[in-house]
Each structure stands twice: as structure tokens, then as C-alpha cells.
Chain A
């Protein structure tokens, strides 16, 4: 916080405000070219109070029609999810398109897809926090929320894919009358612990970030109640509920600086803990495959490859949600600037190429390793289309959908115009999300559908129950996210305030160090 003064950039932002209603590809002040001037985190020189007003306003004012429409759609899909799961549980695993050969298909594809999406939140919160990337304040709250909802969606699939869900408790080491215990030498059990730890720590991290913002919401509701009382009006029920519920959740937070001191350290420690955790979770998910002897799964590159893919897919989902939200919510463009979108586009480009490198390396090792089964699994089960080779892959389109969505589509971000264009970013994010689903489908189904003996070869085709549960899980995700947007602070209010120039304790033109001030303080100035 010492060498830099963001005022100049802010001033430029005010001098050339974004044209009203335009998508604002240029000149909103956030796209400063000069590497020495840090772009403003919050545009239009918003004051501390305005930030409170904008962010709390989203959760306090009645929603627009778009929200009601989307919510009705999403919650209907979520209801369908319940029906499909009910039908599935009553009738059995036979309602899925599984067969003797392909005994994992959309269930585990969806699980890995959702758990991968659930990685961006903690990545943004934890790794970017440790790297002191302050722009994360614009997205970390919603990304963390998205993480939790995605992990909830992910949790559905392993739970129901066991078929007899009433035995799911046996994955936990619970003492029981049969005197049997789970097998701790199995990666599937590691997965249970990794995912449940990840879900718990993500919720803790999210909740901890929310405590000060809950306190803000509580105090605002209380203030409105007191005003109503003073003016002899009736207290509005939403205000009462907010002051009660947020008051309970804020745990009596009173913004004390002695508390902030420990809070910031605890937050940093949680970030430090979450960073290896987030890397471990998808590594362990990849062990589910990598420790087997199946060609196509049995590769040592899986852990880093899965983690890069998770970050890639997670960032795509963050962009997929936030780019439209940025258009729909008033003033959100001041808090989530084009610079933030551009940064995330750059991360998409980087992780997309990491994923592309992993695809290439996987294929290279399949050839270089001189294991004919491994090579066959890649060349003939995945890559070669049926119209080129007679033995070609019936799922070639899935492989090439994955390559074009994940490796080729982010390459447009080499062009500055495109990575600063929200619409282009959104389209690429959509492609990446689709591509990442196909990646898991390719890994799981194409590896399974042709085993060592051609007599065992089977194709997998999804049934309407497969499709219904997947679409329903998207509905559940959207429902939870829309509820979050409607009722919770979707930006970390306290963190946003801390990065604007007004929060600088050394004033706007004082470039002194905090330590200098400490030394001088004895003289009294």
C-alpha cells in the first residue's frame, strides 16, 4: 500500500466516463495501459458509503422481472431433479444407460464436472489472496458461493450412483453392529474425505468472509427499524427478519480493529490452508482413475491435469454467471470492471493452454510409452474419427468437441479487443463449460467402452433419466445462485472498501510507509 497512488487512474476514469448503456469496451478508466499505474478497483470514485449502498441494495431492493423469470425456470428444473432422483431411487440403477462395460458414465462425468467448477471459488479466494491480487475482491464472494453450490451438485452424484442410497453411510467410518469398516487404502474413500473436507472448509471460508457483511446488513435493517419507530410507522417484516437473521449470523461482529487484526490473520491462514486443499481435492478425484490399470486412466499426469482443468472450468463458470449479472444489476460495472474480466480472460487463456498441453502430453506418452493398449485407447478410442479409420472412435466427436472448446476457443484471447469484450468472453466461457463437460465424458466413457477384448465392447447411450438428473442439477445450481444473488451481499463489502483510495490511512498524497509513521508518531504530528 505504499508506492502507488491510484488517484490518477481514478481521475482518468471520471474524466472519461463509460458511455451510458454501452458495453464500454474502451475508456471506462479500468483499462489503463501504463503498467506503473494500477487501475482502480472501483470506478467513478465511489465513496465507502456508496459501496455499502450499492452492494446491500442488491439484496434489499425487490428483484427485477428477469430474476423472477429465471428463478421460476431454475426452481422448476430443481423440482424435476427431485422427481428424477425419486424415480431413479425407486426403480434402480437400470434406469441409467449403464451396461456391463460402461459402469460409470454421466454420473461420474457430472460429479467431476461439478466438483471441477467448484474449484474456482477457493482458487480466487485463496491463491489470489496469497498472491495479493486485489482484483479478486470483485469476484471472490460470488465465486465462493458458486463453489459451494457446485460442490452440493457434485455431492448428489456419488451419493446416488451407489444405487442403494440407504447404504451410503457406509462410506464414512461409523462404528456399526456388523463390525465392518471402510477401506482406507481405496482412492474412492480418499475422495469421500477430500470432497467432504473441501465442502466444509469452503463453507467456513465463505461464512468467515460474510461475517462483517452480515453485520452491515444487520445494522442497516436495524437503522430502518429505528427510523420507522421514530416516525411512528410500522416496522416492515423484511427489516425485522433481516435484523434478526443477519444479526444471528453476524455473531455480534462490531467492526472492532482489534477483531479485524485477528480476523485478517485468520483469513490469511484459511487461505493458506485452502490452497493445498484445493490442489489436493482434484488430485484425489483424479486418483479414482489414475490408480486403476485401465488404459486411458492409468496416467501419472492426471493430478496436475485435473487441477488445471478444474481451475479452467471454474473460471469459465464464474464468467458465465457474472458477465450477464454485470449487465442486469445496476452499478455493478463500477465494482466488476472490464479490467477484472480481462484478468479472468487471461487466466482462461493460460489454463486453457495448460489443459491443451496435458492433452498433448497424454497422447505423446501413450505413443512414447510403447504400450499398445494405451496407444490404442488414445488413437482409436478417442482421436481417429470413424470416417478415417475402420477401427476409429465412435466417440470421436466428443474428443474433438473437447479440443475445439477447451484448446482452440480460448485462443481468441490473444487479441486485446476480444478479451476486453464481455460478449466474447461470455461466449468463450460457454464453450469452455461445454468442453470441460466433454473432457470428463471422454476420459470416463471412451476409456470404459472398449476393454481389452473386443467381445466386451459396448457403446453408452444416455437415457432420459440420465439427462433429467444432469439438467436438474443445473437447475439446482442456478436456483441456489439466484437465491444468493437476491438475499446475500454478492460482493465482499469490507474487502472492497479496503482497496479504494479513501481507505488509505496515509492520505491521498502521502507516500510514506506505515513503519515511518510509527517511528514519527512519538513526536506527535
Chain B
């Protein structure tokens, strides 16, 4: 029942394979020049990617499977809630976050134990009921708490870092039609840095997957 997708602005090929690392760095450090874009619109603005809207969750789920199978790499599904199983439909690899959290937790526990050993066992030993100064048993609660504290910070900061956040600017955030995504809109965006990206072929693929509306996203709004 989807409406015919609207024509998207024509994107012209211009550059070579983009340097992804340099692009990422330049988004944080504006003094480093971003590599030239591969595609520009007729008005000369750099193309960030192509955005397609979908009507229902099952539709976007199946569209994601098709785009995954077409071999795209730099694309994403946007929805205001985590769609169950979408990571499999998109072919997202498992994240290394648990390793980061485990590393943080063990670091915190070791530091916590060493701190207590240094303070109560070595630097400032106090005689308490004839108990040994550096017994490990009374150090366990604080060791545990420090481990949990560090692991919790690792979970939040690790998640944000792997996601490239915080990042308060993004071409999608500057797009007016993207604002409704955090309400109920369901959107797929294929970025122009993807080696597979091609204005016509990508548009046709998105149309085939049942997109209700297509839009070309420009860099810097």
C-alpha cells in the first residue's frame, strides 16, 4: 500500500574512495580538513546519504535483510526503540563491549584492593582487636564495590565511545524530516561513503524494499 517513492535529487559522482578514518577525525577536530566527498548534488552540496522511510516494523525489518544481502556496509536502521532481532537482519557483528566492561571491572577491583592494602596494611597500620593488618577478608566489600563502580562506568562510557557519541552534530540531526524518527518514523539511511553506494542503484534498491519515501541527505544540513 506504499505510495510511489518520490524522486530524489540527482547525485553526481565526483571523487575517489573516501578516507574513513580521516573523516571520523575531522568530525571531532574541525581544523583537520575532511576529505572531499564522493558525491555532490546539482547545487554543489556534499551528499551524506540516501534516506528511505518505511511504514511498519516488519517492512523495515525485511528491507534491512535485503540491504544486508546486497552487501552494503555503511548504512543504518533508525527507529525510536530497539527493534527485536534487527541486529541479525542487519548483520551487525557482536560488540566487544563485554570485554571492555570486564576489563574495567577487574581494573577497579585490583585498584581497590591495592588501595586498601597500601592504606590499612602498609602505610597506616592500626591495631584492631589483635587482627592482622593486611588480612584480605575485610578488604573484600570495598574491592567488590570498586569493581562494580569501574565496570559501570566502563559500560556507559564504552557504549558511548563505540557508538561515536557524544557527537552533537550530524547531517541526519540537521534534517527536518529526521526529527520524527524519535517519535514513530522508521528510516533506513545508506551513506555515500559506502563503496557500494550509487545514486541510481541505491535508489532502486531502496524502492524495491518498499520504501514509502526517499530523500537525499546533504552534509551540514
Q: Name A's B-contacting residues (CB within 8 A).
A: 1, 47-49, 52, 173, 179-185, 187, 189-190, 193-194, 197, 200-201, 204-205, 207-208, 212, 215-216, 218-220, 222-223, 226, 247-248, 251-266, 269-270, 273-274, 276-277, 280, 284, 287, 493-495, 497-498, 502-507, 510, 514-515, 517-518, 521-522, 524-525
Contacts and interface: CB of A to CB of B under 8 A. Distances in A.
Contacts of B204: none
A517 B162 CA distance: 28
A212 B168 contact: no
Given A223-B180, A254-B173, A514 B82 contact: no
Contacts of A521: 62, 65-66, 68-69, 89
A510 B58 contact: yes
B179 to A, nearest CB: 5
A204 B152 contact: yes
B156 A204 contact: yes
Interface string B172-202: 1100101111111000000000000000000
B24 interface: no
A183 B76 contact: no
Interface of B: 56-58, 60-62, 64-66, 68-69, 76-90, 92, 95, 97-98, 101, 105, 115-116, 119-120, 123-124, 126, 128, 131, 135, 138-139, 141-142, 144-146, 148-149, 151-153, 155-156, 158-160, 162-163, 165-170, 172-173, 176, 178-184
Nearest to B62: A525
A407 to B, nearest CB: 30
Given A252-B168, A257-B90, A514-B85, A215 B115 contact: no
A251 B166 contact: yes
Contact of B83 (A248, A287, A503): A503
A277 B148 contact: yes
Most buried by A among B85, B168, B170, B178: B85
A514 B138 contact: no
A518 B88 contact: yes
B65 to A, nearest CB: 4
25 contacts: A1-B84, A47-B184, A48-B183, A49-B183, A184-B142, A194-B145, A215-B182, A216-B80, A218-B182, A219-B180, A248-B168, A251-B168, A254-B170, A255-B78, A255-B79, A257-B77, A259-B163, A260-B79, A260-B86, A261-B95, A269-B101, A273-B155, A498-B82, A505-B89, A521-B66
Contacts of B86: 257, 260-261, 505
A514 B80 contact: no
Nearest to A180: B124
Contacts of B126: 183, 185
A182 B119 contact: yes
A495 to B, nearest CB: 7
Given A252-B165, A254-B78, A270-B152, A265 B85 contact: no
Nearest to B90: A257
B141 A284 contact: yes
Give the 8 A-B CB pairs with smallest separation, nearest first.
A514-B85, A266-B159, A251-B166, A505-B61, A48-B184, A497-B81, A257-B77, A521-B65
B194 to A, nearest CB: 14
Contacts of A274: 148, 152
Contact of B142 (A193, A253, A257, A494): A193
Given A201-B152, A219-B179, A265-B95, A280 B141 contact: yes
Contact of A251 (B68, B115, B160): B160
A235 to B, nearest CB: 15
A269 B95 contact: no
A87 B156 CA distance: 41
A190 B90 contact: no
A212 B80 contact: yes
Nearest to A501: B57
Contacts of A258: 76, 90, 92, 163
Contacts of B65: 517-518, 521
Contacts of A493: 80
Contact of A280 (B79, B85, B144, B163): B144
A274 B151 CA distance: 10
Contact of A269 (B78, B155, B172): B155
Contacts of B160: 251
Contacts of A1: 84-85
A1 B85 CA distance: 10
B141 A190 contact: yes
A155 to B, nearest CB: 16
Contacts of A180: 124
A218 B170 CA distance: 14
B88 A201 contact: no
Contacts of B180: 219, 223
B148 A498 contact: no
Nearest to B92: A261
B182 A219 contact: yes
A273 B152 contact: yes
A220 B167 CA distance: 19
B70 to A, nearest CB: 10
A257 B152 contact: no
A257 B179 CA distance: 16
A49 B165 CA distance: 26
Nearest to A190: B141
Most buried by B among A184, A201, A503, A504: A184
A322 B43 CA distance: 55
A216 B182 contact: yes
A276 B148 CA distance: 9
B172 A254 contact: yes
Contacts of B123: 181
A48 B80 contact: yes
B74 to A, nearest CB: 10
Given A255-B182, A265-B95, A517 B85 contact: yes
Contact of B176 (A183, A226, A255): A226
Nearest to A207: B156
Given A263-B163, A266-B159, A280-B148, 20 more contacts: A49-B183, A181-B123, A183-B126, A219-B179, A219-B183, A226-B176, A252-B169, A255-B79, A261-B87, A273-B148, A274-B152, A276-B144, A280-B141, A287-B141, A495-B81, A503-B81, A503-B84, A515-B88, A517-B65, A524-B66
